[in-house]
Structure formats: structure tokens, C-alpha cells
Amino acid sequence: MLSIEHLSKDMGEFVLKDATLQVNDGEYMVIIGPTGAGKTILLETLAGIYPPDSGRMVLDGRDITDAPPRERRISMVYQDYMLFPHLTVAENIGFGLRNQKVAQPEIEQKVAEAAQFLSIDHLLHRYPETLSGGEQQRAAIARAVVMEPALLLLDEPLSALDGRTREKLRRELRRLHDAYGITVIHVTHNFEEVFSLADRVAVIRGGEIVQVGTPDEVFRKPNCEFVANFVGVENLFRGTCARKEGLSEVTIEGVKMVSTALADSEMVCVTIRPEEILISPQPIGSCARNQYSGMVQEIADHGVTVRVTVDCGVSLVVLITRQGYLEMGLAEGDAVFVAFKASSVQIF
Amino acid sequence: MLSIEHLSKDMGEFVLKDATLQVNDGEYMVIIGPTGAGKTILLETLAGIYPPDSGRMVLDGRDITDAPPRERRISMVYQDYMLFPHLTVAENIGFGLRNQKVAQPEIEQKVAEAAQFLSIDHLLHRYPETLSGGEQQRAAIARAVVMEPALLLLDEPLSALDGRTREKLRRELRRLHDAYGITVIHVTHNFEEVFSLADRVAVIRGGEIVQVGTPDEVFRKPNCEFVANFVGVENLFRGTCARKEGLSEVTIEGVKMVSTALADSEMVCVTIRPEEILISPQPIGSCARNQYSGMVQEIADHGVTVRVTVDCGVSLVVLITRQGYLEMGLAEGDAVFVAFKASSVQIF
Amino acid sequence: MRQPNLLKAVTVGVAACLTIFIIILLLLVVTHPSPAALLSSITSREIQFAVYLSIVTSVASTVICILIAVPSAYALARYDFFGKNAVNTIVDMPLALPPLVAGVALLLFFGTTPIGKGLAEAGLVFVFTPLGIVVAQVFVNFPFMLRIMRSTFESISPRYEYVAKTLGCTDVQALWQVTLPMATSGLIAGGVITWAKGIGEFGAALMLAGATRMKTETLPISLFLNMSCGELELAISAATILIVISVASLYVFERYGGSTSL
Amino acid sequence: MRQPNLLKAVTVGVAACLTIFIIILLLLVVTHPSPAALLSSITSREIQFAVYLSIVTSVASTVICILIAVPSAYALARYDFFGKNAVNTIVDMPLALPPLVAGVALLLFFGTTPIGKGLAEAGLVFVFTPLGIVVAQVFVNFPFMLRIMRSTFESISPRYEYVAKTLGCTDVQALWQVTLPMATSGLIAGGVITWAKGIGEFGAALMLAGATRMKTETLPISLFLNMSCGELELAISAATILIVISVASLYVFERYGGSTSL
């Protein structure tokens, strides 16, 4: 288990402020945040590249705060591979084992195994520059896992790859994690990687970790306006909140919404995820507690999905599939009905 | 109207091969293609930066093939703005008018109008480096449109911007086009820009224009395997085709599908867009001609949408909303039913 | 326990020793004569003449270097043409060529070829004249200007010019209105280093223009002549002036050209 | 009608003229003596000695430059430390300083200071000896090596070293196993240009080591001495050898260091 305790580091342009985080054994932790949020500096401090200004890091009960990188049992994979260009793929993968003075036959065997697992065994004698981006990243991952690290750090490992390669390698990472039960911290700004990989996700902003939880918790129940905005919550309103029958009733510009969430204060922020709102030209016969009639303001066609903005006192954005959209035959100016459950209304 | 006739240009790394395209007056043409497909070289040849190796360009009846750039009435906006750093925003926007020896008061008035339209009138006395990316791109667009060009070329104008700014500026482009009826060629690799902006879309590959049509035509009826793959068609199969009752019946690994499309040859490619396939744990009571039962192979959660892969003899990818997914409570290994219309099956 | 960074200590130590050694050397020269002796030497007719001749020749050679190097650098940065690689290598030649050899080559050119003799008959005498000093400085130093301007032009995207051309500029106007203003700091850095090198030029000038007191006596030649005949006060004051000029130009160069490469 | 590109014609024209002028100059020197005279000069004892002394001193100075410049360049490229900007500027100083002045400064250092006298008593005499030639070459030329290695190290992401350290390397091992092998072409380019400059060094060596026939007579000194006393054949053959060396080194430099900056 890794505990990061009140870790701070000021590098001028990038900072880490009092970051505290626990990663359990075998957990796949994804850290997500905007550019410049301090994601890379966190990983590099963990790897021991810079000494922290304050705070501690404890890995499997061992305080590694002042240990040099080579004694930490932490491996790192960068976005741009960082394969040593003067070494072959096999020499790259075996680099760490050679430093540990492992016997040559054992190195060869371990390299071959890792390469086979990542389907690059046919590339072992090539030099990195002759490989595609996806192949290079596989080699970099092999070089990291062959060390059998206690913790694997991935710094936007898929960001430099194109769509298809990225998806393939994402599956490989999942498979690698499942097969070896390796503990991973994976930094990204891509939401899809959160949903397909993360056991838990941490949101980082300006060097601070602002929320940690399962992907569902973080994306459905952001705990502050920054997270809500960052994870792309479209329907974000401010209103006043009152208790009513064990539920909360929020009033936003005269429109009342019922929520199962309970607020701490009277002034609250409210979000409803666009894909959790039902829309129909006919009144909706459903048990949803929040039902409104309104008018279609704007329709934005994104290909697979269609975003419909409905004015029902407040402007609600509703996300539907293109097929649903075509079936309903919606047009701007149409009268429509929208509905969503009390449990879909997040308050913070 | 712009006619590009059999335009070829070989620049070594990038080529243009016998490109032919017509853009009508006031049309918003989006050209889409993978990196290195020759998108930029096409625009730069149109702007007169390089002479073509062969072919002609005719703009509003005038053969501009050999005209120098300054006599073409074509303006250009690049991805990375290319604002002149030693000039203020106002001087940048007025740069072209000053070259045309327009009187200073008229320059000032036109610059002010363009800046106001693009909401950068408060930035006119600043230097480009002090502006955000979105503001810089607005200034670059203003600098181009203030020339009242017969044709406006946009080279991935939104690619360098972050999500929110990109969406805002996309709306601005739409508004600009609607307000001035300007003829636009917009090059991108982003599909959302196609759907939200394009009157027509052209797909370019290796310097060749492989398909032209409305976004719906191109995305629903790709005319070749490359376009199908490129626009991200997930369900792409090869099969043999036979005529039957005015419809086509395609056999793919033993599975038969009915299509309203008619094929030219016996060996065909077939696509079905994932969002046009219905999925349900119960048999689907619908008039869809193609109905199969199968088993859920894999579920990939992308946040807003969920991709379900169903094995029903062939592997079908089905795209549903997260809400629909949660309501159905699907899990890997479940038995399900899928259905899609004959008109959803594209043949080429 | 946090470990001291050995590699950093050693490498920074080497750099620091080097720096201190250079500072000591410069201070040694500057503080060698008494201030009074330095002042009287600097105000002597001979040193005054050397300063005057050095400034005139180096300014002239810098201007000529700019006029030659800017177009050449632009051609090398922007255009593809037959033999470009050869041109790129050969215009760097004077960098690797000892200045003395360059001077001998210029001497042969102006002294023995029909072109040189023609120029001399037309009144342009380069051998053993101040004109020769200018030519020697130009030939030895233009590669610095050219390399700096080439890398400056290469760092400016040609798309600025493309945009300027769609906005009504001819090729020349696009260069003049857009690229050159954007290249200002490269021009300043290149000009200053070329000028400083010109003032310090010795070997090539010695061969072509000779070392004649009060005729082709620039500051380095004066330093050489006075060292040879033991006039240490005069020699050191010439050296002091040269050090001041070098320090000042290097400061300007690092300021404007820190990012450009030589 | 397609218009001719005036700007391209003019700028490429200037570059081409410059190239042709340089080639003519080099050919003038090389073809000046008859092949027989050249051969007999080159095999003369004096030129043989000059070649031998030039090669020994320049190889020694290049090795010393590498030993000084590589750690300093690494410190400047990788670490932040107090006074880094000052160090960066001052180690470029010899670039702007006329070699003659550098030579005078070294002469004062080794001839008049306690350190210099101490070294002389210990048997390390630099004034008017071949050792002085080596020191003069090192002082004038290490900035080239340093600048090339600094820009080479800067072009190699420190993340390669970070990865190497997580894979079990110490700081020194990461430098030795990863960064230095990746810097090979910079090392070759820098070594070759430093060597070529060392062979051609004249001004600083003249001041510190003097021009003594058959004692401190390197090729440039030989060229100078023989030009002074009218031995044109010997002078030109020294120049010819220097040209051959320059052309060869420039070729190697452009090959390996085309992308690195001086």
C-alpha cells in the first residue's frame, strides 16, 4: 500500500500542495486533472526524482521519502516512451535487470516473457526509432513491469497515440493489471481512461487533490464546482435549498427540483447529468419526481449523440442518441416534456 | 463558386493527387482526413503559396491557377493563429487593408466592426502574446474576414484550443458564416466540427478526394472501406451479396442481413452504425428486418455512452446511452436480442 | 537521510572553477598598469588612432556582413535549390579555416589575380591598406552573422509570410514587413558579435593589411606591435580596451541572442 | 503567366556568389605552388616538425577541452545553481575575446603571478614552450566544445535519466549509460571543431608561446614566420595543409553536428 501524506513541492511553474492520497495494493488509481495541475510532478516526486519540500511517502510500510529512485521499487512510463535510442528493444527492457546484476540467461527469459505478454516479441532486435508509437509504448511498459515494481507510474501513457492504438493499449493495460495484480497510478486528462481502467479516481487541481472516489462517485457526485465543471457537468445551477419530507427541495430561478441528496448550507450548487434526463414530445408517465414541460431551444448534432437544450424556466441540456432523436423528430421550437429522478440531482 | 480541377502537387512528404472539388457560393465545406492526408497542402495551393504541378483553380469564373496570393481574394487562418507578434491586435487585423492602401479612418472602422463581431474589441491595443488561444484565433479570423475574401480557408482552426473555447469558437464560426454568407473551406480531423458546421463534407486521403457529400451521406453511406474505417464505422464486415425481392441479402460468415442498398458486385463490404442497432434483454417487437439473438461479449463504459459487443454469429458493436444501459442491467454473458432496419445496412 | 548530489557538486564545481579562472585572467590584464599610466596610454596619439581605425573598419565590416549574410541566410532557411547542402557547408568554411590562412588566400586573390589587379587599378587597393582590414574582417566573420540569421529565420514559421501574402504582400514586402521585424533580436545579437569579432580580428588582417604603425594599426595590431617592441604600457591599454568591448558585446549578445545559436 | 520568384533569385544568387568566392580563394592557395615544390616543402624538416607539433598540441588540447567542457556543459544544461546566468555568460567570454588578448592574459597569469611561478618551479613552464601552445588552444577553444555539448545535453530530455534512475542507476550511471551515449554525435562534432580550431590557433599561442623556429613552430606559426621572411613556398605549403585539415574537419562537423549549434 502507498500512503502519500501532506506532500508539497514548489517547482515554480508546477506545484504540489499538501497532497494526501492512499493507494491500496493491486489498485488501479487514475489521477485526472487539467494541464498544469501538477500530475507529472506528483509522479516524479513519487519516483524520487525531486525531494519533496515537506510531507512523507510510505510504500508497503517503508518510508521512501528520502530514498534514491533506484531503491524505491517504483517504475515509470512516460507519455513519450523515453526508450533509450542507442539500445535495442531487448536491451531497453533488460536495462533495469542488468543494473541489478541479474544473470544474463534470467534477464533474457524475463525480457522474453514481458515482450510476449505485450506482443512485441518479434521486435526485440529492433531499435526504438524503427517502431510505431504503440509498439514503443508497449516496450516502455515492458521495461517498467519487468522490474516487478511495487508501484507502476503511468504518465499519460496513451496520450501520444492515435485513436485505435490508444484503445488497444488501454485494453492491454487492463489485462496487464488483471494478470499481475500490479498497483498502478495512471495520470491522464482523458475521461474514457477513467471509466475503462480506474478502480478509483483522484481529481487534482493546482497541485491539490480535491476529490477521490470511484469513477461513478466522482462523475455523478462531484464535491465542488471545479470538479463539476471539469468533468463536464452541463446542467450546473445555483439555488436555495430547503428540507422537505426527508428530501431536499432546491429553488433555481423560481423552478423547484427535488433531490435525494442533503445539503449542508442553504445556498447550494446543483447538477443533473444530461444523459440522465428523459425527454419526450408526450407527457412522460414515469415515477420521476422532477417533471417539467418546456420548449426546445437548440439542437446540436454531434454524430453519435445529440444535445438538446430545453427551456423549462431554466435551460436544461439533455443528451440523447441520434436514433432516439430521429425517432422523436424533434425540432427547435417544439414543445416537449422532460423528467429526471430525485436521485439524479446532485447537490454540493 | 470555386472549382478545383485535377489539381496535383508533389511536396515529397505531402502530396495532392488529381484533386477535383466544387465549392458553391456561400457554402461551408469541411474537408476531413487523417494526419498527412494533404489537407494543408490543398489549402496552401489554393491560397497560391505553391504553384500546382498540374490542374486548374477557378474562383468566380477567374482562373487563379497562376495568380500570386495577393490577387486571389482568398484569406487563410491557421491552427496556430500566425498573428504577427510585433503588431497590436488592431494592426494585425488592419494589416491587409493597409497593404491595399485603404484610407486610415476606413481601416479603423472596419477593424472595429470585425473586432466587435468577434467580441475582441476590448483587446485591440494588446499584443498577441498577451492573449489567450481563443482570443488569438478570434483576432486571426477577424484579420482574414476584414479583407472580405471570396473564399475563406480555415486550417484546423479549432485544434489548438481546449474543449470549452473550441465549442464557443465553433458557434462563432457558424454565426459568422450565417451572417456574412461567406464561402468557407474548413479543414479538420474532428468529426464534431463536421456535424455542427458543414453544409457538405469532403474526405481526403493521400492527397485524393475520395468522397464528397452532406455529412449524413458520408457518415451513413461511406463509399469505400477507407471512409468507413476513417469515420469510425465499428461494424464493418465483408460478405457475399444476392438480390432478393428488390432488396439485397448479404451473407457474412453464415449470418444473413437484409439491406435496402443495392450492390454492384457479389463481394461487398457492409456497415451498420452502432447507434442504429436496438438491443434488449427481451425479444424486440419491431418491424426491423434484421433480428438476431446473441450473447453480450464485452461492455465498455465511456461515461456518457456504453459500447456493448454482442456475439450473434458475427460480433456486433451496439452503442447505447448509459441510462439505457443501467435500466436494462446488462452484464457480460447475458443473452440479448438485437435488431436493426434494412435501411441501416450500408453496402459498398 | 537525504544524500548529497555528488554529480551536481562535481559538475557545477568544474563550471565554477572555469568561471573564476576566466575572471582572474581578465582582471589580471585590466589591473596590470597603474590607472595613471593606463590613462596616459589611452590618450596617446597611437592608441587614439588604433581605436579610431578599429571602430571605422569594424562598423564597415559589420554592415557589409549584414548585407551579405541576411540574404544568404534567408535563401538557406527558406528555399530549396540545387547545391544547397554544399553552400551550407562552404559558407561555414571560414569558421574552421585559420584566419592566417584566410589572410594569405585574400592576399593571393588581391595581389596576384587579374580581378585583384583590376580593382587596384580602379583605385580599390586592399593589400597593406585599411580597406584590406575591412575585407579581412568580413571574410572571417560573416559566417557568424550568417549562422545566427539562418537559425533565426528557421525559427520563424514561413506561414507568417504565407498569411502576409494572402493579405496583399509581395514576397519582398512579406520579408520586410513581417519576417525581418520578427528577426530583430537575431539581427542585434548577430550584429554585435560580428562587430566584436571584427574589432578583435588579427590573423587575416595581419596577412592582408600588414602591421604598419599609424597606418593599418587597429587595436589588436597595436597590441602585437607594442608587445613585440616591449612597450608594455601601450600593449596592455590596447588589451584593456579590447576586453571592455568584448565584455560589453557579450552582454548584449547574451541578452538578445541567448536563444539563437551561433 | 507564372511569375519568376525575384526574391528567391536574388537571395540564392548572393549565397551562390559567396560560395564561389570562397572556393576560388581556397583553390588559389592550393594551386599556387607547383606540385613538385609543394612536395619538397611538405617533406622539409621544418614543415614536418610543424605538422608533428600541431597534431600533438591540438590533440592534447582537444582532450583537455572535452574533460573541462563536458562536466561544465552538463551542469549548465541540467542544474539550477546560484550564479548560473553569470557562469553561462562568462564561459562564452573567450568567444568574444580576441585571441591576442587571451594570450596576453595567459602570459601575465603564468609569467607574473605566484601560481604561474609556482608551476614553473614545479617544472611546468608555459611561457615560450609547447605547453603554452596547449594552454592557449584550450583557453580559446573550450567555449566551442562547451556550447556544442550544452546544446546537445539540452536537446536530450532529462526524463531519459529519470527513467534510468528508476531502473536502478545512480546519477553518474544514468549520465554514463544513457545521456553520454545519446550525446555521441555532439561529442564528435564538438571534438572535431575544437581540434580544427586548435590546429589553426595563432594569436593566443603567439603571445604565450612565442614564434620560435623549430621549438614552438606549429603550422600557423610556421606560416607566419615564413611569410615574414619571404619563404613563400614553405608558407603556402603550411597553408595548404591547414586548408586540407579545415575542409576535412568541417565535413565531419557538418555530418555529425549539422543540427547542433555552435
Share of chain C above pLDDT 70, in %: 96
Say how many residues make up chain C: 262
pLDDT at D60: 97
Cα of D58 to nearest chain A Cα, Å:
30
- C45 Cβ partners below 8 Å, 6+ apart? none
Share of chain A above pLDDT 90, in %: 44
User: Residues of C near B (CB-CB distance < 8 A)?
Assistant: 157, 159-160, 162-170, 173, 178, 181-182, 184
In this structure, the answer to whether residues D141 and D227 fall within a common structural domain is yes
The mean pLDDT of chain A is 87
Set of chain A residues whose Cβ sits within 8 Å of the Cβ of D159: 78, 80, 82
Given the DSSP bridges, would you call strands B267-272 and B235-244 parallel, antiparallel or unpaired?
antiparallel
Set of chain A residues whose Cβ sits within 8 Å of the Cβ of B322: 275
Task: Look at chain B and report how many structural domains it folds into.
Answer: 2
Split at pLDDT 50, 70, 90, the class of B305 is confident
Q: CB pairs below 8 Å between B and D: how many?
A: 5
Residue D262 lies in a domain: no
Name the residue of chain D whose CA is nearest to A67's CA.
D166
Instruction: Answer yes or no: do C172 and D5 touch at CB < 8 A.
Output: no
Q: For residue A207, what are the domain limits?
A: 2-220
Instruction: Answer yes or no: do D178 and A147 touch at CB < 8 A.
Output: no
The mean pLDDT of chain C is 91
Instruction: Answer yes or no: do D162 and A44 touch at CB < 8 A.
Output: yes
**How large is the greatest C-alpha to C-alpha distance in chain D, in angstroms?**
81
- B62 Cβ partners below 8 Å, 6+ apart? none
Chain Cα centroid distance, residue A74? 21
State the Cα–Cα distance between residues B20 and B329, nearest whole angstrom: 50
- Give the E-state strand segments of chain B in sequence order: 2-10, 15-23, 28-32, 54-59, 62-63, 74-77, 151-155, 184-188, 200-205, 208-213, 235-244, 247-252, 255-259, 267-272, 278-280, 290-301, 305-312, 314-321, 335-340, 346-347
Q: Three-state SS for A34?
A: coil
Q: Within an 8 Å CB–CB cutoff, is residue B63 touching chain D?
A: no
For cell 430545453, name the residue: A310
State the Cα–Cα distance between residues C244 and B125, nearest whole angstrom: 41
Instruction: Answer yes or no: do D1 and B68 touch at CB < 8 A.
Output: no
In this structure, the answer to whether residues A156 and A90 fall within a common structural domain is yes
For cell 619563404, name the residue: D231
Residue B24 lies in a domain: yes
Residue A289 lies in a domain: yes
In this structure, the answer to whether residues B212 and B280 fall within a common structural domain is no
State the Cα–Cα distance between residues A233 and A225, nearest whole angstrom: 9
Set of chain C residues whose Cβ sits within 8 Å of the Cβ of B70: 165-170
In this structure, the answer to whether residues C81 and C120 fall within a common structural domain is yes
Q: Within an 8 Å CB–CB cutoff, is residue B74 touching chain C?
A: yes
pLDDT along chain D (262 residues), means of 10: 74 94 92 87 92 96 96 93 89 89 94 91 92 96 92 93 94 94 92 93 94 93 93 91 92 74 58
Cα of C120 to nearest chain D Cα, Å:
18
In this structure, the answer to whether residues A303 and A208 fall within a common structural domain is no
In this structure, the answer to whether residues A289 and A195 fall within a common structural domain is no
Amino acid, res. C186: G
pLDDT at C260: 55
Q: Within an 8 Å CB–CB cutoff, is residue A61 touching chain D?
A: no
Set of chain D residues whose Cβ sits within 8 Å of the Cβ of C75: 8, 11-12, 14-15
Cα of C189 to nearest chain D Cα, Å:
12
Cell output for D251: 565535413
The pTM for the full model equals 0.80
Residue C262 lies in a domain: no
pLDDT at D37: 87
Residue B237 lies in a domain: no
- Among residues B179, B196, B220, the one where a domain terminates is B220
Instruction: Answer yes or no: do B68 and D3 touch at CB < 8 A.
Output: yes
Residue A93 lies in a domain: yes
Query: Over the stretch B22-65, which tens digit does the pLDDT of each residue have?
Result: 999 999 999 988 877 888 999 999 999 989 999 999 999 999 99
Q: Over 60: is that where the pLDDT of B335 sits?
A: yes
Split at pLDDT 50, 70, 90, the class of A264 is low
In this structure, the answer to whether residues C221 and C171 fall within a common structural domain is yes
Name the residue of chain C whose CA is nearest to A67's CA.
C2
For A:297-316, CB contacts with D below 8 A are none
Q: Does residue A239 or residue B70 have the better pLDDT?
A: B70
Other Cβ atoms closer than 10 A to C67: 14
Instruction: Answer yes or no: do C223 and D100 touch at CB < 8 A.
Output: yes
Please list, residue by residue across C135-154, b when 16 or more beta carbons sit within 10 angstroms of its beta carbon and e when fewer do.
bbbbbbbbbbbbbbbbbbbe
Element (H, E) at D21: helix D6-30
Residue D261 lies in a domain: no
Residue B269 lies in a domain: no
Q: Within an 8 Å CB–CB cutoff, is residue B71 touching chain D?
A: no
- Give the E-state strand segments of B11-161 in sequence order: 15-23, 28-32, 54-59, 62-63, 74-77, 151-155
Nearest by CB to residue A276, choosing from B196, B232, B323, is: B323
Name the residue of chain B whose CA is nearest to C156's CA.
B82
In this structure, the answer to whether residues D3 and D89 fall within a common structural domain is no
Set of chain B residues whose Cβ sits within 8 Å of the Cβ of A274: 304
Query: Over the stretch B199-242, which tens digit does the pLDDT of each residue have?
Result: 999 999 888 899 999 887 887 778 877 787 777 667 878 788 88
CB D57 within 8 A of CB D130: yes
Chain Cα centroid distance, residue B219? 10
In this structure, the answer to whether residues B332 and B183 fall within a common structural domain is no
Q: Does residue A103 or residue A285 have the better pLDDT?
A: A103
In this structure, the answer to whether residues B121 and B21 fall within a common structural domain is yes
The count of C-alpha atoms lying within 13 angstroms of the C-alpha of C14, restricted to the half-sphere facing its C-beta, is 20
Query: Over the stretch A117-140, which tens digit does the pLDDT of each residue have?
Result: 999 999 999 999 999 999 999 999
In this structure, the answer to whether residues D52 and D77 fall within a common structural domain is yes
CB D115 within 8 A of CB D126: no
In this structure, the answer to whether residues B199 and B293 fall within a common structural domain is no
Give which of A208, A212, A179, A180 is closest to A198, Cα–Cα. A212
Give which of D30, D46, D39 is closest to D244, Cα–Cα. D30
Split at pLDDT 50, 70, 90, the class of A240 is confident
In this predicted structure, which of A219-233, B106-120, D215-229 has the lowest mean pLDDT? A219-233
Instruction: Answer yes or no: do A68 and C3 touch at CB < 8 A.
Output: yes
> Which chains have 3 or more CB–CB distances shorter than 8 Å to chain B?
A, C, D
Instruction: Answer yes or no: do C109 and D28 touch at CB < 8 A.
Output: yes
Cα of D150 to nearest chain A Cα, Å:
20
Cell output for B80: 496556430
In this structure, the answer to whether residues A192 and A323 fall within a common structural domain is no
Nearest by CB to residue B302, choosing from A162, A192, A323, is: A192
Residue B158 lies in a domain: yes
In this structure, the answer to whether residues A21 and A150 fall within a common structural domain is yes
Q: Within an 8 Å CB–CB cutoff, is residue A99 touching chain D?
A: yes
Cell output for C189: 545579437
Q: CB pairs below 8 Å between C and D: how many?
A: 265
In this predicted structure, which of B74-83, B187-196, D85-94, D235-244 has the lowest mean pLDDT? B187-196
In this structure, the answer to whether residues C70 and C174 fall within a common structural domain is yes
- A40 Cβ partners below 8 Å, 6+ apart? A14, A155, A187
In this structure, the answer to whether residues A188 and A298 fall within a common structural domain is no
In this structure, the answer to whether residues C125 and C252 fall within a common structural domain is yes
Instruction: Answer yes or no: do A68 and C1 touch at CB < 8 A.
Output: no
State the Cα–Cα distance between residues D16 and D21, nearest whole angstrom: 9
In this structure, the answer to whether residues D93 and D201 fall within a common structural domain is yes
Set of chain B residues whose Cβ sits within 8 Å of the Cβ of C162: 44, 47, 49, 69, 76, 82
pLDDT at B264: 66
Given the DSSP bridges, would you call strands A267-272 and A255-259 parallel, antiparallel or unpaired?
unpaired
pLDDT at A103: 94
Residue C215 lies in a domain: yes
pLDDT at D5: 81
CB A308 within 8 A of CB A326: no
Q: Over 70: is that where the pLDDT of B285 sits?
A: no
- D56 Cβ partners below 8 Å, 6+ apart? D130
Whichever domain contains C229, its CATH number is 1.10.3720.10
Give which of D211, D199, D206 is closest to D241, Cα–Cα. D199
Instruction: Answer yes or no: do C162 and B100 touch at CB < 8 A.
Output: no
Task: Look at chain D and report how many structural domains it folds into.
Answer: 2
Chain Cα centroid distance, residue B237? 24
Query: Over the stretch B127-149, which tens digit does the pLDDT of each residue have?
Result: 999 999 999 999 999 999 999 99
- Among residues A220, A240, A258, the one where a domain terminates is A220
Q: Within an 8 Å CB–CB cutoff, is residue A178 touching chain B?
A: no
Name the residue of chain C whose CA is nearest to A48's CA.
C2
CB A185 within 8 A of CB A153: yes
Residue B185 lies in a domain: yes
State the Cα–Cα distance between residues C104 and C107, nearest whole angstrom: 5
Q: For residue C55, what are the domain limits?
A: 36-256
Q: Within an 8 Å CB–CB cutoff, is residue B194 touching chain A?
A: yes
pLDDT at D1: 40
- Among residues B181, B205, B220, the one where a domain terminates is B220
For cell 530530455, name the residue: D157
Residue D209 lies in a domain: yes
**How large is the greatest C-alpha to C-alpha distance in chain A, in angstroms?**
75
Question: Which residues of chain C fall below pLDDT 70?
Answer: 1-4, 258-262
Q: Helices (H), strands (E): how many in chain C?
A: 15, 0
Set of chain D residues whose Cβ sits within 8 Å of the Cβ of B68: 3
In this structure, the answer to whether residues D167 and D193 fall within a common structural domain is yes
In this structure, the answer to whether residues D73 and D196 fall within a common structural domain is yes
> What are C129's strand-pairing partners?
none
pLDDT at C1: 40
In this structure, the answer to whether residues B213 and B279 fall within a common structural domain is no
Residue A230 lies in a domain: no
Residue C261 lies in a domain: no
Whichever domain contains B333, its CATH number is 2.40.50.100
Whichever domain contains A64, its CATH number is 3.40.50.300
For D:66-125, CB contacts with C below 8 A are 68, 71-72, 74-76, 78-79, 81, 83, 86-102, 104-106, 108-109, 112-113
Let me know if A113 is exposed, middle or buried by CB neighbors in 10 A (0-12, 13-18, 19+): middle
In this structure, the answer to whether residues C170 and C138 fall within a common structural domain is yes
In this structure, the answer to whether residues B282 and B189 fall within a common structural domain is no
State the Cα–Cα distance between residues C194 and C189, nearest whole angstrom: 9
pLDDT at D95: 83
Amino acid, res. D153: F
Name the residue of chain A whose CA is nearest to C2's CA.
A66
In this structure, the answer to whether residues C112 and C167 fall within a common structural domain is yes
Cα of B287 to nearest chain A Cα, Å:
14
Set of chain D residues whose Cβ sits within 8 Å of the Cβ of A47: 162, 165-166
Cell output for A196: 475503462
Cell output for D79: 542544474
